[in-house]
Amino acid sequence: MAVRVGVLGATGAVGQRLIQLLDPHPEFEIAALTASESSAGKTYRQAAKWRVDSPIPEAVADTTVTATEPGEVPNDVDLLFSSLPSSVGAAVEAPFCEEGYIVSSNSSNGRMDDDVPLVIPEVNADHLDLLEVQRDERGWDGAMVKNPNCSTITFVPTLAALAEFGLEKVHVATLQAVSGAGYDGVSSMEIIDNAIPYIGSEEDKLETESRKLLGEFDGAELSHNEMDVAASCNRIPTIDGHLENVWVETEDDLTAADAAEAMESYPSLDLRSSPDPLIHVFEEPDRPQPRMDRTLGDGMAIAAGGLRESAFGLQYNCLAHNTIRGAAGASVLNGELLLENGYL
Ligand SMILES: NC(=O)c1ccc[n+]([C@@H]2O[C@H](COP(=O)([O-])OP(=O)(O)OC[C@H]3O[C@@H](n4cnc5c(N)ncnc54)[C@H](OP(=O)(O)O)[C@@H]3O)[C@@H](O)[C@H]2O)c1
């Protein structure tokens, strides 16, 4: 029987992607949709300005959207996918967990808390057991798991593939799509014919979340990876797909051929939304490109290319679909991991 799930922030850019992915999902059944007070009481069709590249699913179109409060979500809903602004997530996610709901969240609030697992299943599925520590410390019947920021998800799987060479220093420069800022995020007058070399708090997220994701969990505590990470984030006028330029210095010698082999052979998981291969390595020097490569693996694959040895270690480019692998698909994959591990 499918697990009954809800979507918090169902009308937004990520919320719509969540609905697109969950509607056909055999393990999950959408049973609750929430948004702000201004959407509450409307049907989903009225409340959401649907902009995803497939028709609005009939199964949810006439569902009534509720306010985002535990009392508004039926008790038989077990799992909530959260795509709320982080200020809202900070206020409402914990009360849902206290009421016994399991929350798989995109929002940045709480991602770096010591007892909150920040998970990319193919990279650090074992960190999910941090939920036992979380429940002990917080006394929750529910639980909270987070997926990382969309630009962190793009480069961390490639680093995980290179970890055996000893990661020492990582430099990453991003070229991020406008959908990463949400529908009301960047005005067209700001971004057309332009590039903006600043995205508030983004660089810090890449630098800290990557070290948490590649850290070690000993069953009680999580230690963060000690590699140095420096990030520079840029907004560019693409719609979807974050492209990143990466330089990695390793303890052991690392050739471009070794790196390509390590990335191509890095394992995916036997979960419905985990693509195989996880990392697609291009030989063409001008790939990956956002418009051509963001839908690889139904938007869940990481694309890499341009691998070469440089004065600053291995250099390459990588790309992922920011609202699928970087957000909605990441939360759904964490939901599948929760199910496989008996949390649902
Ligand atoms: N876009 C990406 O690529 C991406 C990637 C990774 C993570 N994220 C994170 O995911 C979250 C959602 O991003 P988004 O791009 O989907 O944002 P968005 O398009 O602005 O959508 C925000 C959603 O939250 C709801 N909401 C706003 N204020 C609320 C309130 N006070 N109470 C309850 N619900 C409220 C909105 O409902 P109404 O329609 O009723 O206003 C809407 O459903 C953010 O934390 C973002 O940082 C986004």
Predicted confidence at residue 183, as pLDDT, reads 81
Q: What is the average pLDDT value for the chain, to the nearest integer?
A: 97
CB of 326 shorter than 6 A to ligand 1: yes
What is the residue with the minimal CA distance to atom 26 of ligand 1? 36
Substitution site in 43, 45, 82, 83 for ligand 1 pocket (most atoms within 8 Å of beta carbon): 83
Q: What is the pLDDT of residues 138-178, one digit of tens each?
A: 999 999 999 999 999 999 999 999 999 999 999 999 999 99
- The 3-class SS string of the chain reads CCEEEEEECCCCHHHHHHHHHHCCCCCEEEEEEEECCCCCCCEHHHHCCCCCCCCCCHHHHCCECEECCHHHCCCCCCEEEECCCHHHHHHHHHHHHHCCCEEEECCCCCCCCCCCCECCHHHHHHHHHHHHHHHHHHCCCCEEEECCCHHHHHHHHHHHHHHHHCEEEEEEEEEECHHHHCCCCCCHHHHCCCCECCCCCHHHHHHHHHHHHCCEECCCCEECCCCEEEEEEEECCCCCCEEEEEEEEECCCCCHHHHHHHHHCCCCCCCCCCCCCCEEECCCCCCCCHHHHCCHHHHCCEEEEEEEEECCEEEEEEEECCCHHHHHHHHHHHHHHHHHCCCC
State the catalytic residue, choosing from 97, 127, 150, 280. 150
Percentage of residues of the chain with pLDDT beyond 70: 100
What is the residue with the minimal CA distance to atom 12 of ligand 1? 83
Cα 9 to averaged position of ligand 1 atoms, centre (Å): 6
Predicted confidence at residue 184, as pLDDT, reads 84
Catalytic residue list contains 233: no
CB of 234 shorter than 6 A to ligand 1: no
CB of 241 shorter than 6 A to ligand 1: no
Catalytic residue list contains 127: no
Taking the whole predicted model, whether its pTM rises above 0.95 is answered as: yes
CB of 11 shorter than 6 A to ligand 1: yes
What is the residue with the minimal CA distance to atom 30 of ligand 1? 36
